[in-house]
Amino acid sequence: MVRSPRETLTNAAANPRSLDLAVLVVAIAAMCSAGFLMTRVGQLAALDQQVRQLESFGAVITDDRYAELRRLVPYRPAISASAILVGWPVFWVVSARLVQWAGNRAGRGEPDFRQVLSVVVHASAILAVRALVATPINYARESLGGATSLSLFLPSFGDSTFPARLLGAVDIFIVWWVVLIAMGLGILYQTRTLPIARWLFGAYAGGAAALALTQALRGGV
Protein backbone atom coordinates (compact mmCIF):
# COMPACT_ATOMS: atom_id res chain seq x y z
CA MET A 1 0.00 0.00 0.00
CA VAL A 2 2.93 2.32 0.50
CA ARG A 3 4.96 1.64 -2.64
CA SER A 4 2.30 0.63 -5.19
CA PRO A 5 -1.18 1.40 -3.84
CA ARG A 6 -3.01 1.40 -7.19
CA GLU A 7 -1.64 -1.99 -8.19
CA THR A 8 -2.44 -3.42 -4.75
CA LEU A 9 -5.98 -2.06 -4.72
CA THR A 10 -6.60 -3.26 -8.27
CA ASN A 11 -5.57 -6.75 -7.22
CA ALA A 12 -7.71 -6.49 -4.07
CA ALA A 13 -10.76 -5.61 -6.16
CA ALA A 14 -10.14 -8.35 -8.71
CA ASN A 15 -9.28 -11.04 -6.15
CA PRO A 16 -11.20 -10.15 -2.98
CA ARG A 17 -9.41 -11.50 0.06
CA SER A 18 -9.42 -9.59 3.32
CA LEU A 19 -9.43 -11.91 6.35
CA ASP A 20 -5.69 -12.49 6.64
CA LEU A 21 -4.85 -8.81 6.16
CA ALA A 22 -7.62 -7.73 8.53
CA VAL A 23 -6.21 -9.99 11.26
CA LEU A 24 -2.72 -8.58 10.71
CA VAL A 25 -3.87 -4.95 10.77
CA VAL A 26 -5.93 -5.22 13.96
CA ALA A 27 -3.23 -7.33 15.64
CA ILE A 28 -0.53 -4.73 14.98
CA ALA A 29 -2.74 -1.83 16.06
CA ALA A 30 -3.95 -3.64 19.20
CA MET A 31 -0.44 -4.69 20.25
CA CYS A 32 0.93 -1.17 19.75
CA SER A 33 -1.90 0.40 21.73
CA ALA A 34 -1.89 -2.15 24.56
CA GLY A 35 1.90 -2.24 24.69
CA PHE A 36 2.13 1.53 25.12
CA LEU A 37 -0.58 1.58 27.77
CA MET A 38 1.23 -1.12 29.74
CA THR A 39 4.23 1.16 30.26
CA ARG A 40 4.33 3.71 33.07
CA VAL A 41 4.61 6.51 30.51
CA GLY A 42 1.51 5.23 28.74
CA GLN A 43 -0.44 4.83 31.98
CA LEU A 44 0.32 8.39 33.07
CA ALA A 45 -0.53 9.68 29.58
CA ALA A 46 -3.85 7.81 29.62
CA LEU A 47 -4.69 9.17 33.06
CA ASP A 48 -3.82 12.71 32.01
CA GLN A 49 -5.96 12.35 28.89
CA GLN A 50 -8.97 11.16 30.90
CA VAL A 51 -8.64 14.08 33.32
CA ARG A 52 -8.38 16.64 30.51
CA GLN A 53 -11.33 15.14 28.66
CA LEU A 54 -13.54 15.25 31.74
CA GLU A 55 -12.47 18.81 32.54
CA SER A 56 -13.25 19.87 28.95
CA PHE A 57 -16.84 18.78 29.62
CA GLY A 58 -16.95 20.92 32.73
CA ALA A 59 -16.43 18.13 35.26
CA VAL A 60 -14.63 18.88 38.50
CA ILE A 61 -11.97 16.29 39.29
CA THR A 62 -12.07 15.68 43.02
CA ASP A 63 -9.57 13.53 44.90
CA ASP A 64 -12.07 10.65 44.99
CA ARG A 65 -12.75 10.95 41.27
CA TYR A 66 -9.02 11.03 40.53
CA ALA A 67 -8.47 7.93 42.65
CA GLU A 68 -11.25 6.18 40.75
CA LEU A 69 -9.63 7.06 37.43
CA ARG A 70 -6.31 5.71 38.68
CA ARG A 71 -7.92 2.40 39.58
CA LEU A 72 -9.09 2.03 35.98
CA VAL A 73 -5.63 2.60 34.49
CA PRO A 74 -4.47 -1.07 34.67
CA TYR A 75 -7.51 -2.07 32.61
CA ARG A 76 -6.84 0.41 29.81
CA PRO A 77 -4.59 -1.91 27.73
CA ALA A 78 -7.28 -4.62 27.60
CA ILE A 79 -10.03 -2.08 26.90
CA SER A 80 -8.07 -0.41 24.11
CA ALA A 81 -7.07 -3.71 22.49
CA SER A 82 -10.63 -5.02 22.68
CA ALA A 83 -11.99 -1.85 21.10
CA ILE A 84 -9.61 -2.29 18.17
CA LEU A 85 -10.09 -6.04 17.77
CA VAL A 86 -13.88 -5.72 17.77
CA GLY A 87 -14.53 -2.15 16.66
CA TRP A 88 -12.35 -1.99 13.55
CA PRO A 89 -13.79 -5.10 11.83
CA VAL A 90 -17.33 -3.91 12.60
CA PHE A 91 -16.47 -0.50 11.16
CA TRP A 92 -15.04 -2.09 8.01
CA VAL A 93 -18.10 -4.25 7.44
CA VAL A 94 -20.55 -1.39 8.03
CA SER A 95 -18.51 0.97 5.82
CA ALA A 96 -18.36 -1.59 3.03
CA ARG A 97 -22.13 -2.11 3.19
CA LEU A 98 -22.78 1.65 3.06
CA VAL A 99 -20.38 2.12 0.17
CA GLN A 100 -21.93 -0.76 -1.75
CA TRP A 101 -25.42 0.63 -1.17
CA ALA A 102 -24.40 4.17 -2.22
CA GLY A 103 -22.59 2.89 -5.31
CA ASN A 104 -25.53 0.78 -6.41
CA ARG A 105 -27.95 3.66 -5.82
CA ALA A 106 -25.78 5.89 -7.98
CA GLY A 107 -25.92 3.34 -10.80
CA ARG A 108 -22.21 2.67 -10.73
CA GLY A 109 -22.57 -1.08 -11.09
CA GLU A 110 -23.00 -3.82 -8.55
CA PRO A 111 -19.64 -5.06 -7.27
CA ASP A 112 -19.68 -7.97 -4.86
CA PHE A 113 -19.65 -7.09 -1.15
CA ARG A 114 -16.43 -9.06 -0.78
CA GLN A 115 -14.79 -6.78 -3.32
CA VAL A 116 -15.81 -3.61 -1.49
CA LEU A 117 -14.73 -5.06 1.86
CA SER A 118 -11.40 -6.15 0.38
CA VAL A 119 -10.73 -2.62 -0.86
CA VAL A 120 -11.64 -1.09 2.52
CA VAL A 121 -9.45 -3.52 4.45
CA HIS A 122 -6.48 -3.17 2.11
CA ALA A 123 -6.68 0.62 2.32
CA SER A 124 -6.77 0.29 6.12
CA ALA A 125 -3.37 -1.38 6.11
CA ILE A 126 -1.98 2.14 6.34
CA LEU A 127 -3.55 2.37 9.81
CA ALA A 128 -1.20 -0.39 10.98
CA VAL A 129 1.69 1.73 9.72
CA ARG A 130 0.19 4.65 11.64
CA ALA A 131 0.21 2.59 14.85
CA LEU A 132 3.86 1.64 14.35
CA VAL A 133 4.83 5.28 13.74
CA ALA A 134 2.68 6.88 16.44
CA THR A 135 3.60 4.57 19.33
CA PRO A 136 7.27 5.60 19.74
CA ILE A 137 6.36 9.25 19.14
CA ASN A 138 3.70 9.10 21.87
CA TYR A 139 6.20 7.46 24.20
CA ALA A 140 8.80 10.16 23.53
CA ARG A 141 6.19 12.91 23.99
CA GLU A 142 4.72 11.16 27.06
CA SER A 143 1.32 11.80 25.56
CA LEU A 144 -1.60 9.84 24.17
CA GLY A 145 -2.88 10.85 20.75
CA GLY A 146 -1.95 13.57 18.29
CA ALA A 147 1.34 11.96 17.29
CA THR A 148 0.50 12.07 13.59
CA SER A 149 -1.78 15.12 13.50
CA LEU A 150 -0.99 18.32 11.64
CA SER A 151 -0.66 20.20 14.94
CA LEU A 152 2.59 18.34 15.61
CA PHE A 153 4.12 19.74 12.42
CA LEU A 154 2.48 23.19 12.51
CA PRO A 155 2.70 24.22 16.19
CA SER A 156 2.15 27.92 15.56
CA PHE A 157 -1.18 28.40 17.33
CA GLY A 158 -2.21 28.41 20.99
CA ASP A 159 -3.38 25.02 22.22
CA SER A 160 -6.89 26.20 23.05
CA THR A 161 -7.55 28.11 19.81
CA PHE A 162 -9.80 26.86 17.03
CA PRO A 163 -6.96 26.61 14.43
CA ALA A 164 -4.91 24.50 16.84
CA ARG A 165 -7.89 22.25 17.57
CA LEU A 166 -8.58 21.92 13.85
CA LEU A 167 -5.00 20.96 13.06
CA GLY A 168 -5.10 18.48 15.94
CA ALA A 169 -8.23 16.88 14.52
CA VAL A 170 -6.63 16.29 11.12
CA ASP A 171 -4.48 13.16 11.14
CA ILE A 172 -1.97 12.71 8.30
CA PHE A 173 -2.49 8.96 8.15
CA ILE A 174 -6.27 9.30 8.15
CA VAL A 175 -5.94 11.67 5.19
CA TRP A 176 -3.74 9.06 3.52
CA TRP A 177 -6.35 6.40 4.32
CA VAL A 178 -9.12 8.52 2.75
CA VAL A 179 -7.04 8.92 -0.41
CA LEU A 180 -6.54 5.14 -0.60
CA ILE A 181 -10.25 4.48 -0.04
CA ALA A 182 -11.13 6.93 -2.83
CA MET A 183 -8.56 5.34 -5.14
CA GLY A 184 -9.85 1.83 -4.39
CA LEU A 185 -13.47 2.79 -4.95
CA GLY A 186 -12.54 4.55 -8.18
CA ILE A 187 -10.95 1.31 -9.39
CA LEU A 188 -13.84 -0.82 -8.19
CA TYR A 189 -16.59 1.34 -9.72
CA GLN A 190 -14.51 2.28 -12.77
CA THR A 191 -14.80 5.99 -12.23
CA ARG A 192 -12.47 8.88 -11.45
CA THR A 193 -10.89 9.06 -8.01
CA LEU A 194 -11.21 12.84 -7.60
CA PRO A 195 -15.03 13.10 -7.25
CA ILE A 196 -15.03 10.31 -4.66
CA ALA A 197 -12.14 11.92 -2.80
CA ARG A 198 -14.00 15.24 -2.71
CA TRP A 199 -17.01 13.62 -1.04
CA LEU A 200 -14.89 11.72 1.47
CA PHE A 201 -12.68 14.69 2.31
CA GLY A 202 -15.75 16.89 2.64
CA ALA A 203 -17.20 14.52 5.23
CA TYR A 204 -13.87 14.24 7.05
CA ALA A 205 -13.25 17.99 7.02
CA GLY A 206 -16.77 18.66 8.29
CA GLY A 207 -16.34 16.20 11.15
CA ALA A 208 -12.91 17.59 12.06
CA ALA A 209 -14.19 21.18 12.01
CA ALA A 210 -17.19 20.30 14.18
CA LEU A 211 -14.96 18.50 16.68
CA ALA A 212 -12.45 21.36 16.76
CA LEU A 213 -15.17 23.98 17.22
CA THR A 214 -16.79 22.03 20.03
CA GLN A 215 -13.46 21.58 21.83
CA ALA A 216 -12.53 25.25 21.35
CA LEU A 217 -15.87 26.45 22.73
CA ARG A 218 -15.65 24.14 25.72
CA GLY A 219 -12.07 25.15 26.32
CA GLY A 220 -13.10 28.78 26.41
CA VAL A 221 -15.86 28.24 28.95
Q: What is the pLDDT of residue 164?
A: 58
pLDDT tens track, the chain, 221 positions: 778 899 999 999 888 988 999 999 999 999 999 999 999 999 999 999 888 878 766 778 888 888 888 998 899 999 999 999 999 999 999 999 988 888 777 666 678 899 999 999 999 999 999 999 999 999 998 888 777 887 665 655 545 555 656 666 778 898 899 899 999 988 888 888 888 888 887 877 777 666 656 655 555 44
Q: What is the pLDDT of residue 221?
A: 42
- Cβ-based neighbour number of residue 6 at 10 Å: 13
Question: What is the value of pTM for the model shown?
Answer: 0.82
